[in-house]
Amino acid sequence: MAGVYVSYPFCAQKCTYCNFASGVFPAALQERYLVALADEIRAHVWEWTPQTVYFGGGTPSTLAAEELASFLQLIPGRPWLEATIEAAPGTITAEKARSWAEAGINRVSLGVQSFIEKEIRRTGRKHTAATVDREIRLLSDAGIRNCNIDLIAGLSGQTEASWRESLDWIERLAPAHVSVYMLEVDENSRLGKEKMLGGVRYGAGDTPSDDETATFYETAVERLAAMGMARYEISNFARPGFESRHNLKYWKLEPYAGFGADAHSFDGRVRTQNPESIEEYLNPASRDRQEAEAALADERFFVGLRLMAGIQPSADEWLRFERPIQRFVDAGLLETEDGVLRLTKRGVMLSNEVFQEFLTT
């Protein structure tokens, strides 16, 4: 199993919590980027045929339908088992949905984050719950029924009641897949700067505490389970059979090729990374990928254990990590069963504490 990731780091507006290299850039830059991206994909020597494709962003849903189609043309393996595009609610039309389906897209990931208008506005986004409702129907009409909805726990202004309301919307819209992220206020985001320097524009002073955010997340785990969506990865929930095949590759250390600015690739042995900024990516002098031998010995743990199914350590690994494993089992953060090692419910919440112990560097 192998996948393709295409990065499209352009947005109509930058979200206040965003700390990625994505954002709003001049149209001319966008044109040059698309040319370079196409060149990069064309130049790629395919050692395997991809089964999954993922257009991430940024906001690739703002890309003209023909442009998207032409990129998909460059990628072998059609029809793919899974081809996802990330979309901002408010950018989908009936026509766009149809052309995506025609171009081979069979899954859409909607960056909803919240269904509560006040919270959405503070992130800098422009949609409403009704937009999401309408666009999911448009996608369904076009034949795309596999949708993911992203939710963020910990947004400014969020309360227990408003979070419940967002989860009610999930129940109503019944997507096949939901991702729930707990917001880390990054100091490089506008929200983070406001939080440090003081200010009221994005409601930084009104962000829930870590403990409240944790409670929101745990509420979501329960509610989603009741709706038939099991947690299969720390932040991902799906109806049976609708787990993201592409994202699973990351956790299972399967190969993927990434194209575009800040795109990451892994061939099963070496990890490579394109420059983070668009400017560096476009500049022939700084375009080269950074390469690093993957440290699979510990990645197996700190990446693999993110899956609720856990991992099956080798006899060697059981021995090598005997002490931390025992310590975390005693502390109730890890559990073992028939040669499988996995995080407990509490272990998920404190997974960084666990993962650190498996770092070999």
Partner 1 sequence: MDREFIRNFSIIAHIDHGKSTLADRLLEVTGALSQREMMAQVLDTMDLERERGITIKAHAVRLNYTADDGNLYQLNLIDTPGHVDFSYEVSRSLQACEGALLVVDASQGVEAQTLANTYLAIHHNLEIIPVINKIDLPAAEPERIREQIETIIGIDARDAVLTSAKQGTGVHEILEHIVHLVPHPKGSPTEPLRALIFDSWFDSYRGVIILVRVLDGHLRTGQKIRFWSNGQVYEVEALGYQAPKATPCDELSAGEVGFLCANIKTVADAKIGDTIVDDENPAAEPLPGFEEIKPMVFAGLYPVESHEHGLLRDALEKLRLNDSAFNFEPENSVALGFGFRCGFLGLLHLEIVQERLEREFNIDLITTAPGVRYRITTTTGELIQVDNPTKFPDPSEIKHIEEPIIDAMVITHEEFIGGILKLLEEKRGNQKKFEYIGGGRVMLTYELPLNEIVMDFYDRLKSCSRGYASLDYHLSGYRISPMVRLDVLVAGEPVDALSMIVHRDFAYDRGKELISRLRRLIPRQQFEVALQAAIGNKIVARESISALRKNVIAKCYGGDISRKRKLLEKQKEGKKRMKRVGRVEIPQEAFLAVLKVGNTDAEE
Residues in contact with partner 1 by CB under 8 A are 5, 7, 20, 54, 56, 180-184, 210-211, 213-215, 217, 234-235, 247, 249-250, 256, 258, 262-266, 271, 273, 292, 294-295, 299, 302-303, 306, 331, 333, 348-353, 355-356, 359, 361
**Cβ-based nearer residue to partner 1, 7 or 106:** 7
Closest CA to 17 of 126, 159, 160, 113: 113
- Three-state secondary-structure class, residue 182: strand
What DSSP character marks residue 175?
-
**Cβ-based nearer residue to partner 1, 97 or 333:** 333
**Cβ-based nearer residue to partner 1, 81 or 331:** 331
Residue 128 and residue 110: Cα distance in Å, rounded?
13
CB of 260 to partner 1, least distance (A): 9
> Rounded to an integer, what is the distance from CA 288 to the centroid of its chain?
25
- CA angle 324/327/330 to nearest 5° reads 150
**Cβ-based nearer residue to partner 1, 34 or 263:** 263
Burial class (CB in 10 A: 0-12, 13-18, 19+), 313: buried
Residue matched to tokens 């949609």: 127
CB of 334 to partner 1, least distance (A): 12
**Cβ-based nearer residue to partner 1, 133 or 150:** 150
**Cβ-based nearer residue to partner 1, 7 or 131:** 7
CB of 16 to partner 1, least distance (A): 16
- Three-state secondary-structure class, residue 158: coil
Query: For residue 223, what are the contacts with CB-CB under 8 A and spacing of at least 6?
Result: 167, 170, 171
Question: Contact, 3 vs 54, CB < 8 A?
Answer: yes
**Cβ-based nearer residue to partner 1, 2 or 142:** 2
CB of 351 to partner 1, least distance (A): 5
Query: For residue 95, what are the contacts with CB-CB under 8 A and spacing of at least 6?
Result: 65
**Cβ-based nearer residue to partner 1, 52 or 131:** 52
Closest CA to 21 of 188, 225, 235: 188
CB of 211 to partner 1, least distance (A): 5
CB of 56 to partner 1, least distance (A): 5
CB of 95 to partner 1, least distance (A): 28
The pairing of beta strand 236-238 with beta strand 82-87: unpaired
Q: What are the CA-CA distances from residue 201 to residues 11, 22, 354 (Å)? A: 20, 21, 37
CB of 151 to partner 1, least distance (A): 11
